[in-house]
Structure 1
């Protein structure tokens, strides 16, 4: 269960592997907390999942990324108690993801390279009947070119990631509505097959 009483929820759900950029998101969050002029009433919840095609060959990469995440988590928690939560799951279902997307005020995706990934589209769709959330999206994400309402970032640029976190948390409802409308049009008017053809 994702709880952060009285605080906004910033959420990232992805696989614990190098190309997904989970440590880069944490570095951006740490930078935002460090430079914020006032107390940040938000918690970054990062859900790390074992790679879908996990094999013994990927174990070393997984352990290296997990160690990097742990180091950054400890640093953030030491300086900003309650500002970050890391949850590790062996798998995550579509139903679980949709529930998480609905809870988040801001959803984050920071891959440095990837194949087809529908998670950002799920995040848009999940909130279609409730107040919109903001999306921070890597320019390297496969759906970056079609989600025009997202705040696009280069995940390697820590200052840019920090600024996007700050902008997303401060974004007013009117801007969130306008950005969601741009993205929702694409999500609702394109079947999974039609969307996949754009990236094959």
Structure 2
């Protein structure tokens, strides 16, 4: 059996204490490694003045973890710079927030080239290579330039926007060309796949061989949607357990007869947290009888605090929170509870289960697994209602949700009210529709579907190196 080699920006090593909270990618890839030998390669998360050209190796069962350190300059240019200040905002349709630097772009290409050089020395001829996300778009091109003919797949966890949006980013043409050095390119939705294929066809003298396959310069890349899923059994089992965590017990005690509305997001401008708070405020204004009868809990762990746009967002959220609670709160009742800590799956599952409304309203999102987790955690006999942004990839699958435009706070407010007053029969019917789909297309389906497709791709010839800056 071919060995699976996973490459991602960060490597998630299993926590022997079991206390760690694995993210969606870590859960997915551990599923992919089940029953076969594997190698997981990527950044260690550490910064070193003189990092080794060889990765640090850690063995955990049948999986080896290969960890690369970065220099401070690498981290600033590759990660904080081009990946998160240029690529990320453009890919989420926030062109005005994109800050392109030629030095950052050079650092992005340099780190990908360094990773490729270190990884190539570990690769066996029959290895199947699976690269993840926007940090590593040029990696296949770098590996091809070193002579690797392995089958290489790429999965895109964030959106791929329309060609005219991607085209605003300097260097985007080189990145589009580099995409075609992968044998299989997986994206979250059919819309993302169409956007990417159109972008390649418009920028180059490429040919569309089939509905999914693009040919360019003697290579063929299949671009296809593979909507990422969740560990369904894990959430279904965790949700009904007795409340033992302090936050869960405090939440249950403080609610009393109030209904809970919950939002769980990493603090990011793509998630629309200030806009969501204002929509909840509009709900309170339009429905004064609900004051004191509902509580909105927003969990939003901070991230990328070194990036100026995220520091500004944190201030905006705090100001919005303070204004709304100050204007609408009453003695004994605070409208919005805001928490910036991260919590393990067992706690989140319990909170999802007691929440009457799951408020998932990103301005743009590749998939949004919180939407799926919320549905999976519900009580089958008395489920809550999911309010979901139409700009989340999950909206293509979760038709039982109340689908809203997150830019329209009146529409979101009306959906919150409808969710709170929806009768039990309709709530069960909507929930059952979504659960049937989530059980059919779970995390095992996602990993197996992608890897089966990749394993079936034909090996192709040596390809191009990304254009130098």
Whether the TM-score (by the shorter chain) exceeds 0.5 is yes
Please give the per-residue CA displacement for 1:75-116, whole angstroms capped at 9, x wherever unaligned: 221222121111111x33222221221121101111111224
- Residue 136 in 1 paired to residue 387 in 2? yes
Which of the residues 412, 423, 430 maps onto 1:161? 412
Structure 1 CA distance, aligned partners of 2:446 and 2:438?
9
Please give the per-residue CA displacement for 1:2-44, whole angstroms capped at 9, x wherever unaligned: 2322210000000111001111110100011112152331011
- Residue 64 in 1 paired to residue 316 in 2? no
5 Å matches for 1:45-194? 45-51=297-303, 54=304, 56=306, 58=307, 60-81=308-329, 82-89=334-341, 91-129=342-380, 131-194=382-445
From the CA coordinates, give the structure whose radius of gyration is larger.
2
- Residue 16 in 1 paired to residue 267 in 2? yes
Residues matched between the structures, number: 193
Structure 2 CA distance, aligned partners of 1:166 and 1:112?
20
Could you say what the CA RMSD is over the residues aligned between the two structures, in angstroms?
1.9
Gaps of 5+ in 1: none
- In structure 2, the partner of 1:43 is 295
- Could you tell which deviates more after superposition, 117-126 or 37-46? 37-46
Answer yes or no: is the 8 Å Cα contact 2:266–2:302 preserved in 1.
yes
Answer yes or no: is the 8 Å Cα contact 1:128–1:184 preserved in 2.
no
- What's the CA shift for 1:172? 1.1
Structure 2 CA distance, aligned partners of 1:129 and 1:35?
31
Structure 1 CA distance, aligned partners of 2:320 and 2:256?
23
- What's the CA shift for 1:141? 0.9
Gaps of 5+ in 2: 1-246, 451-469
- In the superposition, the TM-score normalised over structure 1's length comes to 0.89
Instruction: Please state whether the residue corresponding to 1:50 is helix, strand or coil.
Output: coil
Answer yes or no: is the 8 Å Cα contact 2:305–2:311 preserved in 1.
no
Answer yes or no: is the 8 Å Cα contact 1:102–1:127 preserved in 2.
yes
Answer yes or no: is the 8 Å Cα contact 1:7–1:42 preserved in 2.
yes
